[in-house]
Chains A and B, each alone.
Chain A
Amino acid sequence: MKRSQFLILGFLPAILLMIFLFVLPSLWGIYSSFTNMALLGKEAANFQFLGLENYIKLFKDSAFYTSFFNTIYFVIGSALIGQFLLGLIIALLINYAERRKIPGRGIVYGIVLLAWINPTLIAGFQWSAMYDYYYGTLNTFLKFLGLPKINWLGSMPMLSVIVANIWRGTAFTMLIWLSALKTIPIELYEASKIDGANAFNRFRYITVPMLRDIITVNLIQITMATMGAFLLIWAITSGGPGLKTTTLSLFAYRTAFESYRLGYGSAIAVIMLFLNLIFGVIYIRLFRRR
């Protein structure tokens, strides 16, 4: 056997498996999105072609717009503001504490990381209990302070799942920043300190320009991951009350598996895939430039 043949044979199994899980479903999704296929019943086997009807219906469907904007709120709140800023702040604090030997940095690092490696379903369970109206820790605490109870999952469901997702996902950004900050030569900071720059200016004029590409890559990564968040929201609110926390991925799931409209659900999946591809291509372009 020639060496080149060995190498080609070598990544054949991987290619086949990836086609099976990534390419095939996308193609089948596009195909079924043109049909009225159902999950169960007679339209599961005997479905008809509808052409673009699902898409036309989708763009007139108010539930689609609701879930689209919910996705945007969720991404802005939990990824772009929450995880990004909190992850950055924690990384800067740990970095600062390391140089000045302030105690507690190991515990902070460990516990933020624990929330991230913790299976998402458990996070959902923990936060469901935190938000529980009658006995939850948050409301017990409010009562202790003499304040009225808040119906977290009823009156501010989106904010509640956003906070839970910040809790779960901040570690990723923290890790990126911690390793990125180490790449900046410390002499730069010291030189500018002598020149009289304060902490904010050092951050603005040294850290940000040096790490600009990492910032963008990080932002796109957490945006894509958060756009696709499913399990945490599903575990805490199931998308409710009503459609209030239904993001696109929950909308697709509920359409296919609660309303049994597989074809319509596929159309939503295709739209999401399209959005993801746009972000993905930008991400790869940035990644290549570095």
Chain B
Amino acid sequence: MSTNTAMVEKYRNNFLKEVEANVEEGEWVKMCMQCGVCAGSCPLGNAWEHPPQEIFMMIRAGKREDVLTSDSMWMCTSCYNCIVRCPRELPITHIMHGLAHYAKRLGIQPKGNPTQWFSEVFWNNMMKKGRVNELKLGLSMYFKDGFVSGIKESLKNAKLGMNMQKTKRMAPMEFFGGHGVKNPGDLQKIIKKAQELEAARIEEHGK
């Protein structure tokens, strides 16, 4: 009996349960039948460490560390090819983003990942005024790797910038403040409340 219990414990997949409790749409992971259509349909699949199919199998195999530190879910461009083709209609794109979000919450996401960095810049940029300041967002991309390379990058694209100004696709005055929603303070309050609710939910259900 005791050996039995030990064996059961060995095969009890705590990580799958953890994913189901903490990851958005995580309860779908067990429905994957490992057909491989998502992996084959991903246009960027060959650039990732693990295709979605493999990630789902790794979750079920309890490979917590490998899954949460993988760069795969950060590379998803939300093209939705996998969702459209999945024979079991798993919300694969959402699960991938859910996993990324959970890894970030735990602070074990892969470091130096460019899409992750961009997401943060985008969020902070948007939260200031309630609207994305495209000029500043673009510039922060140019200056991502320091001042010198930023200047070089800007000069390289100077002509593009001029043309965008001419066709009113870029407003240089946005650099000074820029426009936003009527009451950014209210938006920030809404987001803060949402964050509190989420924190409370994690406190209650999560680990």
The judgment on whether A and B are partners is no
Residues of B within 8 A of A (CB): none
